[in-house]
Every structure is written in C-alpha cells, then in structure tokens.
Structure 1
Amino acid sequence: MHKRSPSERIAQLFIHLILFAFAVCCIYPFIVTFMVSLSSEKSILFNGYQLIPEQFSTLAYRMVFQNQFIYTGYGVSILVTVVGTLLSLFICGMAGYAMSIQRVRYRNVVAMFFYLPMIFNAGTLPWYLVCTQFLHLQNTVWALIVPLLVSPFNVFLMRNYFATVPASLVESAEIDGCGVMKTFVKIIIPLSKPIIATVALFIGLMYWNDWSSALWFIDNTHLYPLQYMLYRIKSIMDFVRQNGAMGGTDMPAATFQVATLFVTIGPIVLLYPFVQRYFVKGIMVGAVKG
C-alpha cells in the first residue's frame, strides 16, 4: 500500500476543507429557507430571515395540508410525471436507437429533423393551435404530457450512447433470431442503464416542474398540477400582501409560499439517490462519444 507523504496529506486535507466549505454554502440556504417556513409571519416581517426564528409557527404547513387541491395537484403531477417519463423514454429511446444503427438509410436526414427544432421554432401561436385545434388537448391530462414528449437533446444523448454498444452484440442477437424490437429490449436497454437513468431524471424533472402547460391548456381545477398550483398560490399571496387583505401581517404569505415549496419538492429530492450513481457516466458518454 502506498504511504502518503506529508505534502499529500496536507493537500488532501486542504481539498476536504474546500469541499466541506462548499457543501456548507449549498446546505445553509436550504436550512434557512426551511426555518423560514417554521416561522411566524410577524417575525419574518420585522426581523427578516433568520437561522433560528424568534417565533416558531406551523400555521403555514397546516394551511398547506388543509387545502384539498394540494392532494389533487400531487395526484396529477405524479400521474403526469410517471406516464410522461415512460412514454418519452420509449419514444426518445427508439428514435435514438434507429439513428445509431449505421445501416439505416437516411438516418442523418432524420437526425436533421430533430436538430432543426433545437435552433428554430414556429412560435407560440402555431404550437398552441396545433395542440388545441388539431390534437384537441384542451382540458385533458394529455395536454400536460404530449407537448413535452419529444426532446431532441435527449434523443441525441441516447443516440450517442447507443452508438457505443458494440455492433457485434447486435449482430449476434440477430443471428439468434431476434428482431429489432427484441434486440432493443433484450440487448440495448440492459447495457444502457446509465443513459436511461440520466435521461429519465431529465424528463422527470421537466414534467414535475412544468407549470406553463397548465397555464396554456387547463381550466379545470381538478387537473391543475402541483407546480401550477404553487404559481397560483404565489400570485394570490402577492396580491394579499400588497393590498393588506385578510388580516395584514397575520396572513402567512411568505411562510406559506416557502412551506408549499418544501411540500412540492419532496418526491424529486427522494428520486436523486436512486439515479445519482448513473448520472455522471450517462451524461459523459452520451454527450461525448458517437
């Protein structure tokens, strides 16, 4: 075993101290924000944000969980995130796999069709008309899923990763009688867990944080996702605070917003540990090779 010299130990200690300081800088705002959600509105208005609030209060959280639309929003967001992530992974994966096969004719032409929307787009109005007049997505849960199904960036990430799979494996599977779909499911997917986990994280975050689709297409309150409800709550609380309605400083406007924020980020925070080990490998190989 290599014995570290005093200079190496000092350098390692110095690196650990830097990383520790960086971690504290990242965690400290999160802790302060959480303590704000447990503060009373008066203490926030008079004393500002503090690590240890002068007056503790759980009124904001009680108001959050007494709102029945929070539970409805959670259900809609979970449904949209799960269904949208699975469908988008399937579509982006199949498109990326098709473009990664060397013998597929016009695969570069197909890649160009995916590449052009990354640079040019037709604008908001044509997109809105297609979704409402041709696809008839207005006031349906599919309005929260379909417009975000295909991401050219994710397609190219998966294509570049699939291109690193040895062609001999695919040829062996075809000799054994596997078709294209069976080869993709039995060979490509098991070998591509890093990029699949990475892209799944990207897609899941996109669907979970999306609120603009509901703003454009949804009028039914029972179909509001969680993030759009957070946007509406913020607008209402800003109006309350500016106009002094509903009791002025007794209304937990700031603390309510922060409490709602912590309630909404819970599932996504829990998702990170499961995909973190795949993230670096997936994004590096998918972005560089091919």
Structure 2
Amino acid sequence: MLFHIIIFAFCIFTTIPFILTIIVSVTNENSIVKHGYRFFPEAFSLDAYRLIFSSSEIYNAYTISIVVTVLGTALSLLITALLAYAIAVQKVKYRNAIALLVFIPMIFNAGLVPWYIFITKYLHLKDSILALILPMLVSPFNVFLVRNYFKSLPPALIESAEMEGASPPYIFAKIILPLSAPITATIALFYALAYWNDWNLALWLIDSRELYPLQFMLFKIQSMINYMSSGGNFGVGSSTMPSDSAQMAMVLVTIGPIVLVYPFVQKYFIKGIMIGAVKG
C-alpha cells in the first residue's frame, strides 16, 4: 500500500511542470510580468496561441514536419534494420569491416564545413525536402542497438528456415522483423523524435519558407517575439507581446504529436532498449 502511495505521489509530482506549462500558456503576459508563473493567474489570455496560429505558414510547417517525420522514420527504420541484420549474421562476408565503417562516425567526423559542402555541392540537397531527411537517415548508435537485439534471437530459427529453403529476404521479413517489435518500436521512437525536433538542418539547408519545418518556424516566431518585445507594446492599449506565455504555448504545440505516439510504443520501449543494449 505504501509503495502505491509513493508511486502515485511521484506521478503527481512529475505532472506538475506540465500542468504549469498549460496554465502559463493561457496566462495574460502582464500577469506573468507582475506575478510570475502561478497555478492560479490573475488573468487569462489566448494571445500566445493567436500569435502562433495567426499565419497559415504554421499549418504548412506542421505538414512539412509530419511528412519529414513519417518518411524519415520509415526509411531510417528500413535501412537501419537491413544494415544491422547484415552485420549480425555470421555468414555475411566482411561484416566486421562493415561494422567498423559504421562505428567510425560515432568517434570521428569531418566537421561541419566539409559536411555542408558535400550536402550542397555534391548531393545538391540545398532547399529540398530531402535535405531534412537524408542527413539523419542512419544513426550508428541505433544500428548497433538493433544488431545486438538481432544477435540475441535464437540462431535455430534462422537455421530451420534455411533448411526449409527460405531465402535471406524472406527470413528477414517474415521471421526476424516480427520477432523484433520491441527494438523496432524503440528505434522508431528515437528516429521520430530526432526528425520531429530537428531545426538545425532547416537553418543550414533551407531557404524557402514553404519548406520550413515546425520547429524552425517556431524558432522564427520566437525570434520575432523577442525582437518586438524589446521595441514596445503588442496590440492595443497596454497589452504586451506574449513572450513567456508564447514559449509555453510553443512547447505544447510541438509535443502534441509525440504525446499521442508515445503510449503506443511505451510497452516495447523498455524491453527493446535493455535487450539491445546488453546483448552482444
């Protein structure tokens, strides 16, 4: 009984910052300036949300982020799983050399300038939606995480399938992947979070406003708010630019899709990360 009370109290405690974020996002900016963050504000206001959604560009940015996250996660999962399976199977020739090539970028990199030149001058990805997907397509850490999980599967499954005449693609698609739901869900969450939260690629590679993802669009809005807040009032009368409330509103705008996705992969997450991390 005591254990359940402690767990319940801990859950309430961890929920408090999220509740405060919601309340502050709908608090009048003058009230925040005067009284700070409060659970029971003096006045409520939706100015922060009106400002964020005042332009149709935010809806386009939402669409771009969703497309990039869905396509990027799907492609990253496919390539990561195939690469991990190749270096996990003992019969694959030069698998250790391939694993070494995958491991090297975890330790060394060429630097930002050579990377930028390669992306723009050789791959010609400047100002393209592919510029938001391809540079993050494969994570070496995720590859080794999946490889370790594949190596934990019973080899007898593969051997029996080979004796029945199953081809490697059939074994991978019909046997390995169905047994790898925990690690697949875990890696999908990692990739989805990386694509959804990224704004650096847009900063470096995207010039067209039609291709701005949500995070970068919100970064632009926040920069505009900071600039205008330093220059005077917002709207009519004494209403000030919603700076702090806008920051909290942006948090809620960005985490919405992830909050909806996470419950579906939660039951696989712990199992996938633990097995993938300790098996070798």
- Asked whether the two chains share a fold, i.e. TM above 0.5, the reply is yes
Q: Which one of the candidate residues 76, 79, 93 is aligned to 1:91? A: 79
Please give the TM-score of this superposition, normalised by the length of structure 2: 0.95
Mapping of 1:22-33 within 5 angstroms? 22-33=10-21
Q: Tell me if structure 1 keeps the 8 A contact 2:61–2:217.
A: yes
Q: Distance in 2 between matches of 1:57 and 1:170?
A: 61
Deviations for 1:232-286, whole angstroms, at most 9, x for unmatched residues? 1111111122232545752222212221221121000101100000001100000
Q: Which one of the candidate residues 197, 210, 214 is aligned to 2:185? A: 197
1:112 aligns with 2:100: yes
Q: Tell me if structure 2 keeps the 8 A contact 1:240–1:253.
A: no
Q: In structure 2, what is the equivalent of residue 9 of structure 1?
A: none
Please give the TM-score of this superposition, normalised by the length of structure 1: 0.92
Q: In structure 2, what is the equivalent of residue 38 of structure 1?
A: 26
3-state SS of paired residue (1:250): coil
Q: Which one of the candidate residues 165, 187, 200 is aligned to 2:153? A: 165
Alpha-carbon shift at residue 52 of structure 1 (Å): 1.2
1:125 aligns with 2:130: no
Q: Tell me if structure 2 keeps the 8 A contact 1:143–1:217.
A: yes
Alpha-carbon shift at residue 165 of structure 1 (Å): 1.4
Deviations for 1:147-205, whole angstroms, at most 9, x for unmatched residues? 00010000001000011111121122222222111110001000000000000000000
Q: In structure 1, what is the equivalent of residue 133 of structure 2?
A: 145
Alpha-carbon shift at residue 95 of structure 1 (Å): 0.5
1:181 aligns with 2:169: yes
Q: In structure 1, what is the equivalent of residue 217 of structure 2?
A: 229
- Which deviates more, 256-265 or 35-44? 256-265
Deviations for 1:65-102, whole angstroms, at most 9, x for unmatched residues? 33211110110000000000010001110010011101
3-state SS of paired residue (1:52): coil
- Give me the identity figure in percent: 54
3-state SS of paired residue (2:230): helix
Q: Distance in 2 between matches of 1:268 and 1:202?
A: 11
For structure 1, which runs of at least 5 residues remain unmatched after alignment? Answer: 1-11
Q: Tell me if structure 2 keeps the 8 A contact 1:211–1:228.
A: yes
Q: In structure 2, what is the equivalent of residue 242 of structure 1?
A: 230
3-state SS of paired residue (1:67): coil
Mapping of 1:257-276 within 5 angstroms? 257-276=247-266
Q: Which one of the candidate residues 91, 100, 108 is aligned to 2:88? A: 100
Q: Tell me if structure 2 keeps the 8 A contact 1:61–1:256.
A: yes
- Which deviates more, 210-219 or 61-70? 61-70
1:256 aligns with 2:246: yes
Task: Give the count of matched residue pairs.
Answer: 278
- Which deviates more, 40-49 or 234-243? 234-243
RMSD of aligned Cα (Å): 1.4
Q: Distance in 1 between matches of 2:12 and 2:224?
A: 34
Q: Tell me if structure 1 keeps the 8 A contact 2:181–2:268.
A: yes
1:16 aligns with 2:4: yes
Q: Tell me if structure 2 keeps the 8 A contact 1:233–1:257.
A: no
Mapping of 1:66-81 within 5 angstroms? 66-81=54-69
Q: In structure 2, what is the equivalent of residue 8 of structure 1?
A: none
Q: Distance in 1 between matches of 2:46 and 2:266?
A: 33
For structure 2, which runs of at least 5 residues remain unmatched after alignment? Answer: none
Q: Tell me if structure 1 keeps the 8 A contact 2:233–2:240.
A: no
* Corresponding letter in the other structure for 1:225: P
Deviations for 1:112-161, whole angstroms, at most 9, x for unmatched residues? 11111111111000111111001000000000000000100000010000
Q: Tell me if structure 2 keeps the 8 A contact 1:238–1:253.
A: yes
Q: Tell me if structure 2 keeps the 8 A contact 1:37–1:60.
A: yes
* Corresponding letter in the other structure for 2:145: L
